[in-house]
Amino acid sequence: MNTATDPRHVTCAACGATNRVPAARLGEDPHCGRCGAELLPGHPVELGDADFERVVAASPVPVVVDFWAPWCGPCRQMAPQFAQAAAQLKGQALFVKVNSDDNPHTSARFGIRSIPTMVKLQAGRELDRVSGAMPAAQVAAWARSPAGAPRR
């Protein structure tokens, strides 16, 4: 098995199509064969109860989920920081935003009790989580860190 050339299946967050992308090309801005959207964009993708599982479970890269709500001041403060971290890690991780008020099933699945809360997933499995607003550099460092790595 050649992990550099073996294709990875990436689900398009825009249209739901499954795309085969060689592992070595994941960092080369792959686009959806059906709708043309970026598969691993450098900005957060909005997901909800209807499409969260389908997109996240198939991701060949780590997924960083920001659970937030529009009425939450710290969530609004962190939104641009989260977007900057997504731009820094384009092609290396998929950054997802889930409105916890509008998507109660996904929020309940992860036991979200305070927001903002970020959850790091790999193959749909939770690796780590952190609550509270953080600057972009700290979000990116946390997203890159192995599961269970100490946080400052």
81 three-state secondary structure:
helix
Amino acid at 149: A
Per DSSP, 146 falls in state P
Q: How many C-alpha atoms does 30 have within 13 Å on its Cβ side? A: 27
Asked if 62 and 120 count as a contact pair (C-beta separation under 8 A), the reply is yes
Catalytic residue set: 72, 75
